[in-house]
Amino acid sequence: MMERFDIYDKNRRLTGRTAERGQELEADEYRLIVHVSIMNNQNQLLIQKRQQHKPAWPGFWDISVGGGALAGETSQAAAARETFEELGLAIDLSEVAPYFMVKFPNGFADEYIVHQDVDLTVLNLQTAEV
Per-residue pLDDT tens digits for 85-104? 999 999 999 999 999 999 99
Q: Is the pLDDT of residue 130 over 80?
A: no
Q: Are 115 and 93 in contact (CB under 8 A)?
A: no
Q: Are 67 and 33 in contact (CB under 8 A)?
A: yes
Residue 15: its H or E element = strand 14-20
Single-letter amino acid code for the residue at 101: M
Question: Distance between CA atoms of 33 and 31, rounded to whole angstroms?
Answer: 7
pLDDT at site 2: 86
The DSSP annotation for 16-51 comes to EEEEETTPPPPTT-BEEEEEEEEE-TT-PBP-EE--
Q: Is the pLDDT of residue 115 over 80?
A: yes
Residue 85: its H or E element = helix 75-87
pLDDT at site 104: 94
pTM over 0.75: yes
Chain segment 18-75, per-residue pLDDT in tens = 999 989 999 999 999 999 999 999 999 999 998 888 888 898 999 999 999 999 999 9
pLDDT at site 97: 96
